[in-house]
Amino acid sequence: MRKRKGPARRPGGPSYVGRLALVVALLAVRALSERFDGPGPLISDRLAVALMAAELPGEGLELPAPEVSALMAFLPAAGDADGPKATDDEPQAQPAPGVDPGGDPDPDQQPATTGPDTSGEPQTAPDNGGFSAQSPPPETPENPAVGTTITGESGEYTNLGGGIYVKNRTDYSVDLDAMLEKPLDFSPESSAVLIVHTHGSEAYNPAGEDIYVPSDPSRTEDRSYNVVRLGDELEKLLSARGITVYHDRELHDYPSYAGSYERTLTAINAQLKAHPEIRVVIDLHRDALEGDGVLYKTVAHVGDRPSAQVMLICGTNFSGLKHPGWRDNLSFALKLQKAMVTKYPTLARPLKISEYRYNQHATPGSLILEVGTNGNTLQEALTALEYFGDCMGDVLAG
């Protein structure tokens, strides 16, 4: 039990007498509810105490932490007419002309002054398309996260049917049905897979035994807890299916976050030179969803284990950088998306067609894979990756 002092009374807010009347009414409802038969009172003792403390700040009431955390995370603050506002889940910063989001200059365009890497994970809440808020228990007292399942059933998404939703961030008109049916531009059964991590230090919400030393918020250089750990697991899953896998375990976002895509491209080109059979490059990330002080976690309703969702991002040449084969990547992405929505409904967030290139011009099977968010735990991300690896194995097996 701990004591919590409530916030100071807001100008124009209810008087102390008015708030006291609310508490009396609350207690009356609590007492009345006990008179009726049923599984329990309408208002629990612990939640009643939490509500009373919110109305009578400074009265030294004992507050149970879990109820207070859940209440404050799920309900709008007292006096606010609106709760958390869900906004688009895209980064708002635009790259400098002629420069890929990670500082990947195009030699055919005028060089621009290298600025900060603007291709990092979005910092806003998910949009309202398919948003469903839950109130799961917090992973740690310091990092409570609100669950959301992003399905694409509403919002600015294209519905291909069968649960496949696509968000097109470009002005290109794309025949998605034709892209889905288009044969892959490589032989899946004889192709090798390369796993890289442009932002390898991205980590998850500490929980249970998965506690790490952060190098930055939601980041760690410890490969046992960042997305490199997920790359290790994906390598094992695909190798068990007879697929040749190479894994670049370097942290390309350290010591500097800026220029991380440049460094990843250098690593990709080195791997392609050493292993020309590589046709698929998976740049494995984790997303970040935050808004109005609320941390969000994605929730896939699959099986009996808590699982995050995953999202595929397919780059294009819309930003002006050369990427003539982006439709081949899109065809591969759509086949993966179909496999996920068919085998594990709600595992996949809507597929995103991005205006940026993200080094995906390197091979005809290059994609960004984002597993969970900074609100998810490592174990939830690993569960999601297991499902994804199963689907990717199916697609590559032909």
Domain boundaries, the chain: 2-74, 146-396
Q: What is the pLDDT of residue 221?
A: 96
- Identify which of 123, 179, 130 has the alpha carbon closest to the alpha carbon of residue 350: 130
Does the pLDDT value for residue 141 go beyond 80?
A: no
What average pLDDT does the segment 163-182 reach? 96
Query: Please, what is the angle between helix 65-74 and helix 45-55, to 10°?
Result: 60
Confidence of residue 143 (pLDDT cuts 50, 70, 90): confident
Amino acid identity of residue 36, one-letter, is F
Phi, psi (5° rounding) for residue 94? Answer: -105, 145
Bridge partners of 219, per DSSP, are 202, 216
Q: What is the pLDDT of residue 29?
A: 53
State pLDDT tens for residues 177-193. Answer: 999 999 998 998 889 99
Q: How many residues does the chain have?
A: 398
Query: Cβ contacts of residue 141 below 8 Å, gap of 6+?
Result: 65, 69
Average pLDDT, the chain: 75
Tokens of 351: 């597929």
Does the pLDDT value for residue 31 go beyond 80?
A: no
Q: Is the pTM of this model over 0.85?
A: no
Does the pLDDT value for residue 210 go beyond 90?
A: yes
Q: How far from 89 is each of 129, 131, 184, 346, 352, CA to CA, in Å?
A: 10, 12, 30, 18, 11
Q: What is the pLDDT of residue 329?
A: 97
Does the pLDDT value for residue 315 go beyond 60?
A: yes
Confidence of residue 56 (pLDDT cuts 50, 70, 90): very low
Confidence of residue 26 (pLDDT cuts 50, 70, 90): low
Does the pLDDT value for residue 86 go beyond 70?
A: no
Q: Is the peptide bond before 255 cis (omega within 30 degrees of 0)?
A: yes
Confidence of residue 11 (pLDDT cuts 50, 70, 90): very low
State pLDDT tens for residues 263-275. Answer: 999 999 999 999 9
Q: Which residue has the tokens 């600025």?
A: 115
- Identify which of 27, 61, 53 has the alpha carbon closest to the alpha carbon of residue 42: 27
What average pLDDT does the segment 347-359 reach? 98
What average pLDDT does the segment 82-109 reach? 31
CATH no. for 146-396: 3.40.630.40
Confidence of residue 71 (pLDDT cuts 50, 70, 90): very low
Amino acid identity of residue 70, one-letter, is A
Q: What is the pLDDT of residue 130?
A: 38
Rounded to the nearest 10°, the torsion over CA 197, 314, 279, 222 is: 10
Angstrom distance (rounded) from CA 221 to CA 323: 32
DSSP letter for each residue of 195-207: EE-TTTTBB---B
Does the pLDDT value for residue 81 go beyond 80?
A: no
Does the pLDDT value for residue 374 go beyond 60?
A: yes
Q: What is the pLDDT of residue 188?
A: 85
Q: Which residue has better confidence, 33 or 294?
A: 294
Q: What is the pLDDT of residue 64?
A: 39
Q: What is the pLDDT of residue 23?
A: 55
Share of the chain above pLDDT 70, in %: 64
Angstrom distance (rounded) from CA 366 to CA 259: 19
Q: What is the pLDDT of residue 380?
A: 97
